Structure formats: C-alpha cells, structure tokens
Amino acid sequence: IKWCLVFRVLILLVSLCSLYFTLYYMLRCRCYCFLQGQVSKNKFTAFFVKNSVYWARGMLLLTFFLNIFMLATWEAPSYFWSILPDTPSYYNPVIYAVGALHLILSLFVAITFFIANLKNFTLPSAITYLAKKFTGKEDEDTGPSIEKHNELNIFGLATLYHIALVGFSAASLPLKGYFYCFHLLHIVVNNDTLTRVLQSVIRPGRQLIYVTILAIFIIYIYAVASFALLRIFFNRDDGLFCETLGQCYATSIRFGLLATLGDVIPGHSFTFQAAGLRTIFDLTFFIVITTIGLNIVFGLIVDSFSALRDEKNAALEDMSSVCFMCSIFSHEFEKHAKGFEHHVKNDHNMWAYLFYFIFLHRLEQNDMTSTEYYVFNKIKKQDIDFFPTNKALCLESIETGSEEQLDQLQEMVARLVHRIEREEDDERRKKARDEQRKWEKKAKQSMSGHRGSLRDTPDDVLRRGSSVAFRPSPSLPEAAHSSSGEDE
C-alpha cells in the first residue's frame, strides 16, 4: 500500500512539474514568438505542433487499451459503500505504467492545443465590454476578419475540454481508471462525420431548448391534474411518488418521457365515468408529449443534419468543379487547357498562395520588393483584388483567339452588308435609268407626232378628210387637234 501511494504521489508531482515548466516556458520565455505566430521557428513549439497527430492517436490507443483492460478485470467491490472495484494483483502495476504514459500524451495534446491557439484566445464578451467601458476605449467595427473568425473564448468548451483531458487522466491513477472513459470522446475531434452529428444537435440548440421548456410546462399541468385527481393511484412500491406536488411532478417527468403516464398509473378501481375521463387524460398526454413533442425534437435534429449534409455536398461539388483561386469552372480547363487537375495543382495551387502569404508575413518590410510590398499591404487590408478572379494564363490564348475570330466575323458581316447595300444602290440606279429612257422615248414619240401634224397644209387636210364619206371638212385647228389625238 505504501509503495502504491508513493508511486501515485511521484506521478502527480512529475505531471504538475512538467505542466508548470511548460506553462512557464510558454508565457515567459517564448511568449513573443507565439504571439507573432512563428511557431515553426521555435524547436520547443515545433516539436509539439508537428507531432500533434501522433499525440492524439497515441492517447486514443492507450484509452482503448485501458478501457478494455478495465472491462476484463473489474469486479464488484467487497464493501457495499466502496466505489473502487476489486482487481487482481497485476492490475495496479499495469494501470500505473500505462496510465503514466497516457497522462503524458494527454498533457502533450493539451499543450499542442494551447500553442496552436494562443494567439486566438479572447476573454468573454461580458468581461471585454466591461473593460472597454472602464477604460473608455471603443474599438471600431472593421467587419468580419480572419482573426475574428478564429477567436476562441478562454473559458470556452474547447479550452475546458482540453484541461479536463489532463485532469481526468491524472485523477484516474489513484481511482483505478474511473475517468478513462471520458477520453473516448476524443474520437470526435478531427472526425468530420462525428463532428457533423454533434453539430446537428448543437445547431438547433435554441429551438430544442424552447421545445423542452414547453414540454416541461405541459407536463407540469398534467402533474397538477394527477395530484388533484389521480393521487390515490400512485403506488410507492412501484416508484410512483405523489405525496407532494413536487414528487408528483418528478414522477410525471420521469415516467411521462420514458413511457406514458397511462401505462404506469394503474386504473383498476375507477367507475365507467372515471374511465372516460382517464381515457381523455391518457390519450391527450400520449398525443401531446409522446407523439408530437418527441417528433418535433427528432424533426429538428434530422432537418439540421440534412442541412449540414447539403452544405458539405455543395462545398465538395464546388471544390471539385470550380477553381478556388480564379472561380472558373472545370469544364473550361478540360476543353481548352490541360485539364482541371493540372490547373489546380500547377497553375493555381492554393497551397502555393498560402506559403507565399506565410513567406511575406515572415519577411521584413525593408527586404520586400515592390510586388511583395503591394501584396503584403493588400493582405493586411484584407483586400483580395490581387487574386486572379476569372483569369487564367492557360485560357488567355483561347480568349485571344476567340476575340480575333469575333473581330474577323464582324468584319465579314460589315463587308457583306456593304456589298448588299451597293448592289441595292446599283439596282435602284439601273431601274431609274430604265424609267428615264422609257420616258424619253415616249416624249420623243409625242413630240414627233405633234410636229408632223403641224407641217400639214390645208389642202392635205381637206384631201384626207374627203376620203371619209359624208364627213365635213374640219377646220385647221380641229384637224391639228385630231392629228395629235391619234398620235397619242
């Protein structure tokens, strides 16, 4: 027993000392390096961050082993009041050795989390608001930013969870591994499927709270009715307590949500009139609470899960069909370039852009070129105008060729329209000339006939008129007018 106590105390001291020196080194020696985001430059921080995946996986493997080992060796304690199980003689050495390694890995996981997010930690909004009011400083709202998106509350759920990882791992050593079951929840971290399952419950949290409050109020109404009318049917031996309104309410919540009050509360001693009222009571409780209430909760969770799934599918489709940098669809590169995969890996590699931004962040401003300084200022102002939106070098030749073809087509259309207009003008002139010639011909014929009639002598007129029997000889003006009429 003394050996076990000494071993436990030593493990706790080593863990506390390592945690103390780690925090001291982080906050005193290398705090400036962390706050500047230069984690990889420091060997201490790089050791934790680069191996973060191995710390998490190793902790999970040890957690599985410890829980399986506990399932195989735990037995009920000899004393009824004891919570510690009876274990074989080899249990304590194994649990201490593996538990110490588990504690170290849990500590590494927590340290990695704090190193990676040290720059993003913020105080709660209430404390920040009071501090601003006290100091009289008001920050201007510059809109959404990357820093605001990555902010973590120092008292948030993620922070408390990583602190609990170390605390429960340390507490499991003297308690024979009671809290190692908590570390099984770490399988959710960095698992997209399980994370979306949890988000489907957390996302409609406000609606679920409202529905729960409404259900609690409705059950309270039924508890009051049960206390007034059905109190005598509650049997203490069956766990049905209704001596006070509080007991009746607690019983109604417990059995009303697990089953229905109609199935739990016996009804063998009431009359037919009471049976009718009891039927109304049981059916309304079953419909309102068991059927409608629970289905509303399930519907909110299912709708939230469907929305998350649709968002993920839309994101995956966008990633597979649209370039992240230029926002051009993949079919353009498949048709006119070397393919979409070649484009996103060689032409517009988003990781190359990210590495370039990191390079600019680490580079001194005095050593920057004009282009680097321009991009650095754009990033600092959160301006993305320098991104090649709707532009790609591999498509410029296609666009230039298309423009040339369009210009040629427009020139051909213009020439064709000019030719058609010229032919129409020629046709119009030809038609006008033909009409002019016809008019001139008619005019000449008319003038020749009129001149011939004027050259006739009176004797010719009388001779031409004497050939017509019984026709009087016209005078000279009448003859001239008749001659001109015949010519017309």
- Asked if residue 425 has pLDDT above 80, the reply is yes
- Asked if residue 35 has pLDDT above 50, the reply is no
- Asked if residue 453 has pLDDT above 60, the reply is no
CA separation, residue 64 to residues 2, 51, 61, 192 (Å): 29, 20, 5, 21
Residue 144 banded pLDDT, cuts 50, 70, 90 = very low
Least confident stretch, 282-291, 342-351, 474-483: 474-483
231 Cβ partners below 8 Å, 6+ apart? 242, 248
Average pLDDT, whole number, for the chain? Answer: 76
Q: Please compute the mean of the pLDDT values over residues 334-351 and round it to a whole number.
A: 85
* Predicted local distance difference test score (pLDDT) of residue 479: 41
Least confident stretch, 36-50, 172-186, 238-252, 303-317: 36-50
Q: Please compute the mean of the pLDDT values over residues 232-250 and round it to a whole number.
A: 85
Q: In this prediction, what percent of the chain has a pLDDT beyond 70?
A: 72
CA–CA separation, 115 and 278 (whole Å): 63
296: three-class secondary structure by DSSP:
helix
Residue 480 banded pLDDT, cuts 50, 70, 90 = very low
The Cα angle at residue 117 between residues 115 and 122, in degrees rounded to 5: 130
* Predicted local distance difference test score (pLDDT) of residue 20: 53
Cβ-based burial of 223 (10 A; exposed 0-12, middle 13-18, buried ≥19): buried
Torsions phi, psi for 121 (to 5 deg): -70, 135
* Predicted local distance difference test score (pLDDT) of residue 147: 47
Averaging pLDDT over each range in 21-30, 297-306, 475-484, which range is the top one?
A: 297-306
The Cα angle at residue 122 between residues 118 and 126, in degrees rounded to 5: 165
Q: Please compute the mean of the pLDDT values over residues 19-42 and round it to a whole number.
A: 50
Q: Is the dihedral of CA 242, 243, 249, 253 positive or negative?
A: negative
Q: Kindly give the residue spans of alpha helices, DSSP state H, lying in 25-124.
A: 31-35, 43-50, 52-73, 91-117
* Predicted local distance difference test score (pLDDT) of residue 101: 93
More confident residue, 83 or 100: 100
Q: Crossing angle of helices 458-466/476-487, nearest 10°?
A: 70
More confident residue, 488 or 98: 98
CA–CA separation, 8 and 323 (whole Å): 56
- pLDDT tens-digit map of 174-232: 888 889 999 998 888 878 888 888 888 888 888 999 998 998 999 999 999 888 888 88
- Asked if residue 474 has pLDDT above 50, the reply is no
* Predicted local distance difference test score (pLDDT) of residue 53: 86
Q: Please compute the mean of the pLDDT values over residues 445-472 and round it to a whole number.
A: 54
* Predicted local distance difference test score (pLDDT) of residue 470: 42
Nearest to 298 by CA among 187, 405, 204: 204
- Asked if residue 26 has pLDDT above 70, the reply is no
Q: Please compute the mean of the pLDDT values over residues 438-466 and round it to a whole number.
A: 63
Nearest to 184 by CA among 61, 51, 48, 99: 61
- Asked if residue 290 has pLDDT above 50, the reply is yes
CA–CA separation, 389 and 398 (whole Å): 17
Torsions phi, psi for 322 (to 5 deg): -135, 135
Tell me the CB-side half-sphere exposure of residue 422, using CA atoms within 13 A: 6
- pLDDT tens-digit map of 62-77: 999 999 999 999 888 8
Nearest to 358 by CA among 6, 41, 29: 41
- Asked if residue 2 has pLDDT above 60, the reply is no
